Structure 1
Amino acid sequence: MIHILFGQSSAGSLRAGFREKGIDKKEQIISFWDMFSIGPVRGLHEEAGQGSRFEWMKDVKNDEFGEFKEYSHHFQKTINQIRSIPVEAPITIWTADNAHEQIGLRFVLDILKGKNNDITVINTTKSYGELFNTGRRQYIFLHSGEINPDKLQIIYDQGEGRVLTDHDKEDYENEWISLSENQETLRIWRNGRIVSVPEDYYDPFIIRKAKKLHRRQDTKDFMKSARLIGEVLGHLDQYVGDEFLEYRLRKLIEKGVFDVEGSLIAMRYYSVKLR
């Protein structure tokens, strides 16, 4: 079985679960190190579209230790791995109810277009709810990487998932065509659909959280940018990642909404204060 996931944390958790069961040598895991809810996806199935995405991501990603080169290299490597999957190999694609993993699902199915592999889709949001959210306490997670290895393994062992028909594949491929024609750089998950929104969609939310943190101070003063990003991240109902939120904070600094103290080279090096 070939497993395709969208994120290092979810791939690592599944790999740990397989290792514990002693089946890690039989199950191959392929994963993207990307965040598909942010950045251009226009023409992403083509080289030019990938180039446009990488250019945009250069402004978002912290490249303090050369992470960007590794990111772009791994992106190309993952696409090549998916294209090289043998026709006879069954594939399981792991996704969840968030824009990132749902876009990733559609992108992968476009890469696999024309192949006749048996493809099963496991929706971890749905499977987790059915298997574990059976009592009064309901655990809600934003992405598959927040599920521990034991529970991911149980989801797989229980045979949860939907085998895609040719009609299902065609529907997803058509949805990808629509997505890849859109020029927006931020997407969220609403009412079971991927919705494109303006890039500054969360700017007012960042400002509100900054005001909240200022109210906790004796006198209005600078706060660590990581403290503000953590506050925003902890109250967000979407999965867009801390890098994107810090990128938007830098944009707000450029606009003069925040004063800054320190170096913008990385989040831990500077503090901010609302003007």
Structure 2
Amino acid sequence: MIEVVFHESAAGSLKLAQGYRRGKFRTSPKSVFVGSGKNGESRGLLRQEKEQERLACEEAVPFGGTAADIFAFHLMLSVGDISGDGVCRRRLETLNCMFGMYPEGAGSSAAKEIFDRACKDLETIRQRLDAGEQVRIWYSSHPDEMCGLHWFLTQLVQDMPSTKVSIVKLPDWEIKEQTLAVHTGWGEVDPDEWHRYANLQKEVSPVFVSAAASKWRQLQEENAVLRAVINGRLFSVPEDFYDHFIRSEIENQNDEFQEGQLIGRILGKYQLGISDGWLAMRIEKMIENGKLQIITNAPSDCPAYHRVIRKIT
């Protein structure tokens, strides 16, 4: 089974899941460092934690497959030019922009590696599907993953129309141990959880594949700078679509503040499914428009947004 994901972290977690095995529970070495505590509280917490470890170990289910079955198209398709077919060369330009805040050419190197691997992987998948293999696509409401689903299904319509396709959508939320867990993408899923979500797999009809491809072609014609998921559907949106959230958090800052901390707060608080790179680009635009001022630049070995900026009123 060919497994397709749209984030490097998701691919890494899924590869670990493939080798996740049941095994004899062994006491965690961290127990050595826990004392008895007042009224036995520490011992009680330790016993509870050890029990949780034991259950996780004994209930672990191997996902199966091999690393060679997993393909990650980390193309950030919710951003930038999507007018070309396949893994278009203009995608490399977008990746360079999104990774452009990283120091000393690290960003451009990462962008080229992702781009080159995507080109190679798409060709490998075509060959394997032509030989009769099936494909399973893991996606969510994350804009890049939703775009990835539509993009990949478009490739199937064009090149492999008779392929059997299964999809697995990550639930937007679920209850875990009396807590509401909100998901933003497969990169957040732990290796021991993948087997649970495999039960959500659905085989899709050619009609579904064709409809998704038609939607992607519409988005290609519009070719907006940005795409977002609204009420579960993909739409082209203006490039300032998320600026409200940035401005709201800037208002909560002191006159001078760390840009990196601002970006981290936005990502954690709103869980919009956008990257630090996009937020950094929008903040840079605000600086260019005279809304913010750079006070100190980032150290040479840090991302460019590790700097201090000031509000301009």
- Superposition TM-score, scaled by structure 1 size: 0.86
Q: Can you list the C-alpha shifts for 1:126-180, whole angstroms capped at 9, x where unaligned? A: 6xx5xx5377532111111112111112222xx3211011211211121121121
Q: How many residues align?
A: 260
Q: Superposition pairs for residues 54-203 of structure 1, below 5 Å?
A: 54-62=92-100, 63-64=102-103, 65=106, 66-87=109-130, 88-113=132-157, 114-115=159-160, 116-125=162-171, 133=175, 136-156=178-198, 159-203=199-243
**TM superposition shift of 1:231:** 1.2
**TM superposition shift of 1:189:** 1.0
**TM superposition shift of 1:259:** 0.7
**Equivalence for 1:273:** 310
**TM superposition shift of 1:245:** 0.6
The aligned amino acid for 1:110 is T
Does the 8 Å CA contact 1:109/1:173 hold for their aligned counterparts? yes
Does the 8 Å CA contact 1:261/1:272 hold for their aligned counterparts? yes
SS at match of 1:3: strand
**CA–CA distance in 2 between the matches of 1:259 and 1:76?**
40
The aligned amino acid for 1:125 is P
**CA–CA distance in 1 between the matches of 2:125 and 2:272?**
27
SS at match of 1:133: strand
**TM superposition shift of 1:27:** 6.8
Q: Can you list the C-alpha shifts for 1:196-229, whole angstroms capped at 9, x where unaligned? A: 2111222232122112022xxxxx32x2211011
Q: What is the RMSD computed on CA atoms of the aligned residues?
A: 2.3
Does the 8 Å CA contact 1:18/1:153 hold for their aligned counterparts? no
**Equivalence for 1:18:** 18
Does the 8 Å CA contact 1:189/1:238 hold for their aligned counterparts? no
**CA–CA distance in 2 between the matches of 1:25 and 1:101?**
22
**CA–CA distance in 2 between the matches of 1:148 and 1:190?**
27
**Equivalence for 2:296:** 262
**CA–CA distance in 2 between the matches of 1:268 and 1:199?**
19
Of the structure 1 ranges 78-87 and 101-110, higher mean CA displacement relative to structure 2 is found in: 78-87
Cα gap change, 1:138/1:208 in structure 2, threshold over 3 Å: closer, same or farther? Answer: same
**CA–CA distance in 2 between the matches of 1:74 and 1:271?**
36
Does the 8 Å CA contact 2:86/2:155 hold for their aligned counterparts? no
**CA–CA distance in 2 between the matches of 1:57 and 1:201?**
20
Does the 8 Å CA contact 1:82/1:112 hold for their aligned counterparts? no
SS at match of 2:181: coil
Cα gap change, 1:31/1:226 in structure 2, threshold over 3 Å: closer, same or farther? Answer: same
Cα gap change, 1:124/1:260 in structure 2, threshold over 3 Å: closer, same or farther? Answer: same
**TM superposition shift of 1:262:** 3.2
Does the 8 Å CA contact 2:91/2:115 hold for their aligned counterparts? no
Q: Can you list the C-alpha shifts for 1:15-72, whole angstroms capped at 9, x where unaligned? A: 11111127343871011122222222123x157xx23333244333225323232232
**Equivalence for 1:33:** 74
Structure 2: which 5+ runs fail to align?
21-61
**Equivalence for 1:4:** 4
**Equivalence for 1:234:** 268
Cα gap change, 1:247/1:230 in structure 2, threshold over 3 Å: closer, same or farther? Answer: same
SS at match of 2:118: helix
Does the 8 Å CA contact 1:188/1:195 hold for their aligned counterparts? yes
**TM superposition shift of 1:269:** 4.0
The aligned amino acid for 1:236 is Y
**CA–CA distance in 2 between the matches of 1:267 and 1:175?**
36
**CA–CA distance in 2 between the matches of 1:42 and 1:82?**
22
**CA–CA distance in 2 between the matches of 1:39 and 1:26?**
30
**CA–CA distance in 1 between the matches of 2:202 and 2:152?**
16
**CA–CA distance in 2 between the matches of 1:182 and 1:28?**
34
